Structure 1
C-alpha cells in the first residue's frame, strides 16, 4: 500500500511569501494545495513545485466569500485533512493624508487578512485536535506590534491575527497541534514596494521562506524577522504611546496633512 502523501495547504501562493513557501516545501511525497488570486503567478508556482517532485492542486477561490470558503474546506477534508496549513493570503491599503482610508476597501482588507484565516482555523482546528496532529501558521507582520499611521487597517488586521494565533496555540498545544505566528518585516514584493515610508532590512522571499520553514519545524510560537526591526517594533509597543507616536513620525511613517 503506497504511503500517504503529506498534504500542505498554502493560501496566497501567488504572492511573494506564499510562492516562496510553496517552493520551500515542494518535494517528492508532498501534495500542495495552492490558493491564489493571480492565475499566471499561481500556474508558475505550480510548475516550479511539480518540477521539484510535488503533487500540486490549484485553487483561485475568493477567500472573502464565507459560503464558498466553507464548501471548499469541507470538500478538502473529506479527502484528507491537511498536515500543515499556511495562511499567507493578504492585502495592504495605504491611507490618504486628508481623507483617510476608504471604508469599502478597508472592510475588504479586514475580511481577507483577519476574518478569513480565522474562519479557516475554525473549520480545521477542531478536526486537527480530534486527530491529534497538524500545524496552523498565521502570517502577521511586525506592524502587529505597533500600528503605523500610513496603514491603520492593515496594522489592525495583523495585530488581530497575531493575538488570535497566540490564543489558539494555547488551546491546541495539549492536543498535539502546533500553531505559529509569523511576523515578517519588509519582504521584497509588489505589496511591500507599494507601502509608504522607509523600508529597512528588506529580505528576499526565499530567505524569509527558509526562516519560516525552520521556525515551523521547531514549532516556534512566534517567527519574527529581521531582528533589528523586530526589536525596534517591539520597543514601540512597550514605550509610552505618545513617545512611540513621535518616534514613528520622526522615522518617516507619519501622515502629513
Structure 2
C-alpha cells in the first residue's frame, strides 16, 4: 500500500507525542506510535484511527535500544518513515529541601531524554540516508539553554538533545534529510502539572503542537517557542556566571515525583 506519509512518534501516550500523533492523523497516513503505558497509548491510537489514519503501536522504553531498534527497522521495512518525532521524555528535580536529585533520578532522565532520542534516530539513519529523504525533529527544551539549579540532570539531558540535533542537521542536510531542533518552553501537559513553581509564557498543548508541526512541515532548522523565555535563558547564560547562577537559584521550583 502507498501512504501519503509514514510517521514515527515516541512518547505517544500523552503530552506532546499524543498531540502530534493526533495532529498528523488523516486518511492515507500511517502512524507508528510507541510508549510505555498500554492503556494511554491505545487511547491515542484509537483517536488517530477515528481520524482515518492507519496506526500500529509498540510498547517500548526508549532507553532500551535493542528491542526498540528492531521494531523500528521492521516498521520502516513495511512503510519507510518520512518523519521521525522522538517525543518520549521524563523529568525530575531536587527535593523540596533542595537536596540533589541523586544518581537514580539523574540517570533516568539522561537515559530517557538523551539516549532515548539517540536510540530512536540512529537505527534509521542509514535507511534515510540511502533514500536521501526524511524529516527529523529533536525535542530539546529551554532548559537546554542554561542549566536550571533545581533540575540539573534534566537540563543536561535536554542540552544533549539540542547539541545532538544541531550536529545531525549539519551532517544530514547535504544528504537530503531535514533536521528541526525544537526548543520549547512551558506548555500545558501532565509533565508541566507536576512542576510546582513559576511557568512564564506558558501556552496550551494545542498551540505548541501547532507551532512544532508547522515548523517540521516547512523543514525549519530551529523552532524556539515562546521566544521570550528562550531569550531570558540565553541572557542568563551570557552574563557573568555568578549573576546567572543567582537568577537560576531565585527561579525556585519543585517537581513532584512521577514519570
Instruction: Work out whether the TM-score is over 0.5.
Output: yes
- Once the two structures are superposed, residues 157-178 of structure 1 have per-residue CA deviations (whole angstroms, 9 ceiling, x without a partner) of 0000100100000000011101
- Once the two structures are superposed, residues 136-195 of structure 1 have per-residue CA deviations (whole angstroms, 9 ceiling, x without a partner) of 111110000001011111000000010010000000001110111111111111211212
Cα distance between partner residues in 2 of 1:153 and 1:73: 28
* 2:167 aligned residue: 167
* 2:183 aligned residue: 183
* 1:56 aligned residue: 55
TM-score (norm 2): 0.92
- Once the two structures are superposed, residues 35-90 of structure 1 have per-residue CA deviations (whole angstroms, 9 ceiling, x without a partner) of 11222221221111111111111111122212212221222222232100001000
Instruction: Note closer, same or farther for the CA distance 1:99–1:176 as it changes in structure 2 (3 Å cut).
Output: same
Q: Is the 8 A contact 1:93 1:151 kept in 2?
A: yes
Q: CA deviation at 1:237?
A: 2.1
Any residues of structure 2 matched to 1:100-115 within 5 Å, and which?
A: 100-115=100-115
Cα distance between partner residues in 2 of 1:146 and 1:186: 15
Cα distance between partner residues in 1 of 2:106 and 2:87: 18
Q: CA deviation at 1:253?
A: 5.1
* 2:207 aligned residue: 207
Q: Is the 8 A contact 2:60 2:68 kept in 1?
A: yes
Give unmatched runs, 5+ long, in structure 1. Answer: none
* 1:36 aligned residue: 35
Q: Is the 8 A contact 1:145 1:237 kept in 2?
A: yes
Q: CA deviation at 1:122?
A: 1.5
- Three-state SS of the structure 2 residue aligned to 1:224 is strand
* Aligned-residue CA RMSD (Å): 1.6
TM-score (norm 1): 0.93
- Once the two structures are superposed, residues 117-139 of structure 1 have per-residue CA deviations (whole angstroms, 9 ceiling, x without a partner) of 11222211221111010011111
- Three-state SS of the structure 2 residue aligned to 1:252 is coil
Runs of 4+ in 1 over 4 A off after TM superposition: none
Cα distance between partner residues in 2 of 1:55 and 1:126: 25
* 2:7 aligned residue: 8
Q: Is the 8 A contact 2:141 2:184 kept in 1?
A: yes
* 2:123 aligned residue: 123
* 1:46 aligned residue: 45
Instruction: Note closer, same or farther for the CA distance 1:63–1:250 as it changes in structure 2 (3 Å cut).
Output: closer
* 2:19 aligned residue: 20
Q: CA deviation at 1:98?
A: 5.1
Q: Is the 8 A contact 2:236 2:244 kept in 1?
A: yes
Cα distance between partner residues in 2 of 1:177 and 1:203: 30
* 2:257 aligned residue: none
Cα distance between partner residues in 2 of 1:236 and 1:55: 45
